[in-house]
Structure 1
Amino acid sequence: MTSSADWIAGARPRTLPAAVAPVLAGTGVAAYVDQVALVDLQWWKALLALVVSLALQVGVNYANDYSDGIRGTDADRVGPMRLVGSGRATPRAVKTAAFAAFGVAALAGLVLAATTAWWLVAVGVVCVVAAWFYTGGDKPYGYLGLGEVMVFVFFGLVAVIGTTYVLTETWEWPALYAGVGVGALACAILVANNLRDIPTDTVAGKRTLAVRLSDERTRYLYAFLVLVAAAAVVAVASATTWWALLGLGFLARAAAPTRAVLSGATGPALIPVLAGTGASELAWSVLVAVPLLLA
């Protein structure tokens, strides 16, 4: 019988900062551009956006577990436990959990759409479809080297800009810049994960971007994404307040995982890089959002 601890592990809690970060960043931008006091901010909308983001992340994780499990991709893993691959849960149960998480995201999203703009429903549908077909379906795009592109778009640009929009109902350039920074670090999490899995993914026929680029170039890509995130801090600060440059403090947290990647860490040695990169993304959003909220 699958324990609650197994389900929590299967939800991959180390990846959840990637869901929290864009909402924090988007909320900070919204507070700054609307010049509203913290007590006057529509926090209930921000919380609903957080529910959407977290539920989508958990849904993606379970869907990935299910799809990779039934394909046998997770049969010989180096990383954390997978529910289907390890046999601790049936494929049907994990698939049900994935769609339950998507359902939670859909309900929260419907409330936001009803109180903001109904066209957001279409955005939500695209997000869920993209989440499922990352590793699901006959031709999952995650197996074609497009995973990083979709992570950048949905867990960076869409999540940040979307959060700002539901709070302001306007387009804001700082939200785009923040989306680039958050998206770059979200991509870095996936790059580190796929770098670790190059040997097993190659055998399983999973042509991730890391497999296509090879080990060395994937490591350079990781470092490049960290630099993009740093440049995005400067862009946000130039469009808002220079206090946002405090966001560059994320580099202190990003130093260790970047050093591990560039020094040639492999296999289990790359597992802490995932948590470190997630923490770096969360630090980026907090250190950028707080000055914007207080300004």
Structure 2
Amino acid sequence: MLKNWISAFRLRTLPLALSTVLMGNALAVFKGAFNPTIFWLTILTTLLLQILSNLANDYGDGIKGTDNVDRVGPKRAIQSGAISPKQMKTAVIIFALLSLLSGIGLLLVALKMDLMLFIFFLLGIAAIGAAIKYTVGKSAYGYQGLGDLFVFIFFGLVGVLGAYYLQVKTIDYWMALPAIAIGAFSAAVLNLNNMRDIENDGKVGKNTLVVKLGLKHAKKYHYTLFLLAYIAIFTFVMTQTDGRQQGVLLIISALVGLIHTFHIKRVILAKAYAQFDPELKIVALSTLLFSVACFFTFYLL
């Protein structure tokens, strides 16, 4: 049973969530502010939210019949019968509460009783709601082609800038550039997932952005996301850093960019839906690699 739950947590999605926290904290280090306790509490809260999202996604798609024998990707827990819808619903409630408690603890440590605590509390509630409403309910936004927008906002702007603010206690609008990059990479992962599932999603009425665009235009949208990310990255590096930091970050960006160049080529040439699946891991891990490299560059230099 434990094996089934670990599978339902979808651990391969966690690197992307960690990328958001690491980039936000990397920028905080860049500004000379870093509290390890806040860092680890942010990681805990982020991982709980990601697992909550995965469980809610399994539950929502499972009870709607979206996850069926025609699905190309890995089998989900409800789809396979490993976990019942009732059990999954209970797990969603438990992880929503754990995310809430962890988030409250994080805010009390980082912001104490400052006015911003209440604003971040509302953002936390919104994040929990977004994690659940992606596939759950009649108005699930993932079924209306809005998943990419929510991923860009919560994995990019809100996630990165939120983690940054909790450390620095101020907002520098230049920090939105790395946040845009992480948001674009995260949206690219979702786009890969939806390109893989386009045929089945279209049949069951899950109108993702890919279903609306069609595969040809979804591929164009995919490499546009990477173009946006690298414009944001190079603008930030060239305007906000100098000396050794700038040189190292340009090298890191070029190396990760090389990985993404080969990735985009494979996506463009892909003929079978199953070919998109291994690319999810490549984009997620390369995004994590980029965030880790930025963190240590700012920490050491």
TM-score for both structures, normalised by structure 2: 0.91
Name the residue aligned to 2:170: 170
**Partner deviation per Cα, 1:225-257 (whole Å, 9 max, x = no partner):** 122222222132122342432441212332343
Q: Aligned partner of 1:99: which letter?
A: I
Q: Alpha carbon RMSD of aligned pairs, Å?
A: 1.4
Q: 1:97 and 1:202, CA in 2 relative to 1: closer, same or farther beyond 3 A?
A: same
Does the CA contact (< 8 Å) of 1:26 and 1:163 recur in 2? yes
Q: 1:178 and 1:69, CA in 2 relative to 1: closer, same or farther beyond 3 A?
A: same
Name the residue aligned to 2:285: 279
Identical pairs, percent: 33
CA–CA separation in structure 1 for the residues paired with 2:44 and 2:84 = 26
Alignment of 1:212-231 (within 5 A): 212-231=212-231
Whether 2:77 is the aligned partner of 1:83: answer: yes
Name the residue aligned to 1:71: 64
Whether 2:23 is the aligned partner of 1:22: answer: no
Whether 2:257 is the aligned partner of 1:251: answer: yes
Name the residue aligned to 2:210: 210
Name the residue aligned to 1:59: 52
Name the SS of the counterpart of 1:118 in structure 2. helix
Q: Aligned partner of 1:155: which letter?
A: F
Q: Aligned partner of 1:64: which letter?
A: N
**Aligned pair partner of 1:261 in 247, 267, 270:** 267
Name the SS of the counterpart of 2:117 in structure 1. coil
Q: 1:49 and 1:87, CA in 2 relative to 1: closer, same or farther beyond 3 A?
A: same
Does the CA contact (< 8 Å) of 2:270 and 2:276 recur in 1? no
Q: Aligned partner of 2:154: which letter?
A: F
Does the CA contact (< 8 Å) of 2:38 and 2:166 recur in 1? yes
CA–CA separation in structure 2 for the residues paired with 1:256 and 1:100 = 41
TM-score for both structures, normalised by structure 1: 0.93
CA–CA separation in structure 2 for the residues paired with 1:257 and 1:274 = 10
Name the residue aligned to 2:128: 128
Does the CA contact (< 8 Å) of 1:244 and 1:289 recur in 2? no
Structure 2: segments with no counterpart, 5+ residues: none
Does the CA contact (< 8 Å) of 2:29 and 2:295 recur in 1? no
